[in-house]
Amino acid sequence: MKPAVQAIHFEQVEAIPLPSGSWSRMVLSETNISGIQSSLGYSIFQPGTITDPVSHEVEELAFVVAGVGELELEGSSLPFRAGHALHIPARTWHSVANTGKEEMVMVFTFPYPGYPPTDRR
């Protein structure tokens, strides 16, 4: 049987709290779509937010919808702004920092049916 096309609003999915009142939501994942092979998330980062470092088992792709920030990497940082697409290779330690004065909005995806196995510091 062919899978059905679905539309899921991000507010239908529980928010995952992040520091400083920021949040993330796994909008499309195995928790709400049976048989899905990848996942899609949406995050809002408040000004001044810096997430704890993480390293995912799989690569992460992200698109910055609004705002400015930096990916904090081991020993360096990569600035980005609205309109940038980001590729974070598998097993790369990184954190996200909103360096601007407004909310930073990011859409991200993993080639994994949910939030992938992740190490945290």
The pLDDT confidence band at residue 3, using thresholds 50, 70 and 90, is: confident
In this prediction, residue 4 has a pLDDT band, given cuts at 50, 70 and 90, of: confident
pLDDT at 34: 92
Which pTM value belongs to this model? 0.94
Q: What does the pLDDT look like over 72-111, one tens digit per residue?
A: 999 999 999 999 999 999 999 999 999 999 999 999 999 9
How many angstroms separate the Cα of 16 from the Cα of each of 10, 26, 41, 53, 87?
A: 12, 8, 11, 16, 22
Nearest alpha carbon to residue 3 among 26, 30, 35: 35
Domains of the chain: 10-114 (2.60.120.10)
